[in-house]
Structure 1
Amino acid sequence: MEPEMGALALKDANGRKEEGTICKTSQDAFEVQRRDEEAVQGLDTSSPPGPSRARLIALVLTCTGAAFMNTLGVQAAVIVLPTIGTALDIPDSRQQWIVSAYSLTFGCFLLLWGRLADVYGKRLIFIWGSAWVTATTIALPFIPNEIGFDIFRGLQGLGAAANVPTAIGILGTTFPPGQAKNYAFACYGAGAPLGSIFGNLLGGVVAQWVNWQWIFWILGILAGIITIAGYVIIPLPPVSSTVGTKASIDWIGGTLITLGLLALLFALTEGNVVGWSTPWISVLIVLSIALVAVFVAWQWYLETKTTRRPLMKVSIWKNVRFSAAMLIMALFFAAFNNYLIFATYFYQQYLGLSVIQTTLRFIPTGVMGIMVAFITAQLLSRVRGSFILMFGTLSVGIACLLFAVPIHPNTTYWAYGFPAMCLAVFGADTVYPSLTLFTAHSLPQEDQALGGALINAVGQVGRAIGLAISTAAELAVVAQRKGESIEVVGNSHIAPRDVALLDGLRVAEWVNFGLAIAAFAIVLYAFRGSEKLGQKG
């Protein structure tokens, strides 16, 4: 044990004697003297106080708002597609572009925006992306024709591609591992599924009682609030954090992956409309695969043969669990989103319910989703990640199964519709936060926004491929039952209570069930014995 020291006589800047502190060890005495000397030199090396709890909560809500707004806008637009189509004189076969134009630009520019955020500053990209979303969203109701409307929807998605992944990067660099980070990512992870759910509610209410333009005005107001909140709440980065980094942007890689994803998502979007045998669909798919392959080769070259920084390090995919997490995200995102879409089709197209009647059936998902988000934050540091992911993927699988099995359509909603809605949100609000938190832990601080972009891009590609497969299966069954071609069925209106339509919807849900179970199987293989995802720091 070190000897105790007596009172130390220390001098201040003016040479006056002061009584020092009674130090228990020589190390403590040295620390007092060092701080006193630094004070004499006018230096202050003490750490600045961290953000207050209220500011951190506001920061989490602001970042979550970006994810919430993204899916809220998509799903609300889906609900009012026929209304917008009638107002702008858009044929049924082209109404999907109101949604697809947004999804295309959002999915294609995620990786590039993610890298730009890591280089130029996450706060800057988040604010400008949110401001861009605000401006384009408010302008949309004033666009008088189909082409202009689709263009502005694409521009809207471009802004969302900037602020959604950047929000993940901001949370990843702000919170150290621990319970606070678990809550932050649980909240953010719940934003996307809750946005889809409340998008149904918003679309239904607006379609029932006010003009469709109010959807975009409401979204514009929310986006404006997020923009202002981001400017006020997100802390400024250190001045030196972006110095000398501008040359590290891989513009060649950004162009290759953006064009590759654009070709792929465009082909998948149009395939069920014009027919998969259409020559240019096959050309686009082959072209997209080639561009992505060249992108991967270019990234490998930059990482292994040069000192230049690639857009995405290929080496991160050597981590089996990281690669598995991305594949789980693609499969799960497809299953969950397809469940919402085909459940909507079942209530509106087959049962012939009104928009507001359909909306009422989705209310349990919103209520349960908020509750599950808080529970998940506690589970992340207490339960193994494999158990959480198994529960989530299996829950969504069962939700799809309840709409796939031949339950009589007149069966009460409470017997299978209500349990399915609850199970779907149980899955979404446990899997999304878990995978997002895992991605944040897997990448270094300087790649946090890119990680957010990557997991969102993988989800978008999975969603597009899954929806294309499910829709193709549905149309094939309906065409077979009705004895017509797929092209004719895809461009025709089917009356409610048509048995062929019911069979097609059930087959689509079987596909969705398969996607969820595939995700479940990957969890069993890759995450067996995994640690808790939200370990306390």
Structure 2
Amino acid sequence: MIANPFLRDEIAFDLFRGLQGIGAAANVPTAIGLLGSLFPPGKAKNYAFSTYAAGAPLGSIFGNLLGGIIASYASWKWVFGVNAALAIAVTAAGVFLIPPPLQKETTEKEFKSLVGSVDWFGGIVITSAILALLFGLTEGNVVGWSTVWIYLLIVISLLLIGIFVAWQWYQETHTSRPPLMKVSLFKNKLFSVAMVIMAIFFATFNDFLIYATYFYQDFQDIGPLQTTLRFLPTGITGIIVAFIVSRLISKVPTYMMLMLGNFAVALACLLFAIPIPADTSYFAYGLIAMILSVVGADITWPCLTLFVSESVPREDQAIGGALINACGQVGRAIGLAITTAVQTAVMAQARGTPVEKSGKVEPWDTPSLLGMRAAQWLNFTLALLGVGIVGLAFRGTGIVGKVVQEPGRTGGEEGVMNEERVGKE
């Protein structure tokens, strides 16, 4: 982030932005792994996961607010400078606050062995697959969906994903080398469903925030600061909801919590999809939608992350955290690509132009409004799909945050114990 403001080349800028993504991808599973390993099942673990879960939407909201203030009163370069300072602060906090046993120094020999054990081939294959898929989905809006290589690229990406899964299975079952992803974890059907729900939820929640931003900043043309101020209630609500969820998660059946979370986001998307006059006061429906969105996020995220933590053995906590984070991030990226395609197609039809010439969102422009509403209708549909999947798969699974003491089970058996408990209640 420190280097970005000084780069003159777009490719170099994108590469360093990619490093930011690597940092986030490393932080989230590590944090979930630490929480899952350090906290035994109980109230403390419920509070830890609920508090951590509140950080995702709150960080997004306050980050947008901070970015809007900087963009309004200073150069865009300061956005990266402030973020770099925050990253340094987080790094220092990790060095001084993480318990000493987890900060064991690694020798040069151990480091080389660790680097050598990394599944570089698997990492390259899955990264190439996701990049190809996202590039194909996004470029379809640019070059037109009649272009043959768009579909060829999507097919290649799906083949690469298949190769990656087969390679991970081979490493886990036929070698002693640790795979990037334990395919055996997906034998637990509820674990697999949790991954799907996370992908759908983040596709919906992220798209809602993005298109709400488009609506206020680009369509209503009120500027970045006024736009971010409209997101401020979500931060306040997020703190309150996180506190409430930390208590309810040990008392209310998990499927009910998850259905409520997904349904809240569905309603938020619906308020921006239905034909409410665009000049209607923010307090009439925008405020309600913002509050509903963060209610959904602060319920769904802790329930899913805690469920995953309880479903895997202690030694696989970091892998479980990595998978749930990866599913959320991939779902968010693919969801945005698909939603953008729908928005662009509707705008192009309304303007009577090909998709590749549909143009951008214009202030108080009817085709722009129709495109954004179509995107929110898709988000609403995805959220309802999440509600349906939860109702079918999670009904009768019990309460994930409920503590059941079973003597004689410790260490790595806790994950199995909790998985059995969650399935039986």
What TM-score does the superposition give when structure 2 sets the normalisation length?
0.89
Aligned position for 1:50: none
The within-5 A match list for 1:388-403 is 388-403=257-272
Residues 248 and 146 from structure 1, CA distance in 2 versus in 1: closer, same or farther, beyond 3 angstroms? closer
The within-5 A match list for 1:405-444 is 405-444=274-313
One-letter amino acid of the structure 2 residue matched with residue 206 of structure 1: I
The within-5 A match list for 1:252-401 is 252-401=121-270
Deviation at 1:248, TM superposition (A): 5.4
Aligned position for 1:196: 60
CA contact (8 A) 1:272 1:468 kept: no
One-letter amino acid of the structure 2 residue matched with residue 353 of structure 1: I
The gaps in structure 2 that reach 5 residues or longer are 406-425
Mapped pair 1:505 → 2:372: yes
CA distance in 2, matches of 1:145, 1:308: 39
The within-5 A match list for 1:5-154 is 137-154=1-18
The within-5 A match list for 1:462-477 is 462-477=331-346
One-letter amino acid of the structure 2 residue matched with residue 525 of structure 1: L
One-letter amino acid of the structure 1 residue matched with residue 77 of structure 2: Q
CA contact (8 A) 1:474 1:507 kept: yes
Deviation at 1:355, TM superposition (A): 1.5
CA distance in 2, matches of 1:278, 1:509: 27
Mapped pair 1:460 → 2:329: yes
CA distance in 1, matches of 2:106, 2:318: 14
Aligned position for 1:7: none
Residues 535 and 398 from structure 1, CA distance in 2 versus in 1: closer, same or farther, beyond 3 angstroms? same
Mapped pair 1:207 → 2:45: no
| 1:224-258 deviation line (CA, Å, top 9, x unaligned) | 01111111111233769998984754343333223
CA distance in 2, matches of 1:415, 1:450: 43
Aligned position for 1:218: 82
CA contact (8 A) 1:265 1:464 kept: yes
Deviation at 1:218, TM superposition (A): 1.0
One-letter amino acid of the structure 2 residue matched with residue 513 of structure 1: F
CA distance in 2, matches of 1:293, 1:340: 32
The within-5 A match list for 1:221-260 is 221-237=85-101, 246=114, 249-260=118-129
CA contact (8 A) 2:138 2:341 kept: no
One-letter amino acid of the structure 2 residue matched with residue 275 of structure 1: G
Mapped pair 1:525 → 2:389: no
| 1:248-300 deviation line (CA, Å, top 9, x unaligned) | 54343333223222322333343333333334332322221111101111222
CA contact (8 A) 1:265 1:461 kept: no
CA distance in 2, matches of 1:358, 1:494: 15
Tell me the SS of whatever aligns to 1:138. coil
Deviation at 1:481, TM superposition (A): 1.1
Residues 182 and 314 from structure 1, CA distance in 2 versus in 1: closer, same or farther, beyond 3 angstroms? same
CA distance in 1, matches of 2:47, 2:144: 45
CA distance in 1, matches of 2:117, 2:125: 16
CA distance in 2, matches of 1:284, 1:237: 46
CA distance in 1, matches of 2:245, 2:256: 12
Aligned position for 2:363: 496
Aligned position for 1:445: 314
CA distance in 2, matches of 1:306, 1:218: 45
Select the structure of larger CA radius of gyration: 1
CA contact (8 A) 2:268 2:289 kept: yes
Residues 446 and 251 from structure 1, CA distance in 2 versus in 1: closer, same or farther, beyond 3 angstroms? farther
Percent identical: 58
What TM-score does the superposition give when structure 1 sets the normalisation length?
0.71
Tell which deviates more after alignment, 368-377 or 271-280.
Answer: 271-280
Tell which deviates more after alignment, 432-441 or 153-162.
Answer: 153-162
Tell me the SS of whatever aligns to 1:289. helix
User: What RMSD in Å do the two structures reach over aligned CA positions?
Assistant: 2.1
CA distance in 2, matches of 1:451, 1:379: 23
Aligned position for 1:176: 40
The gaps in structure 1 that reach 5 residues or longer are 1-136
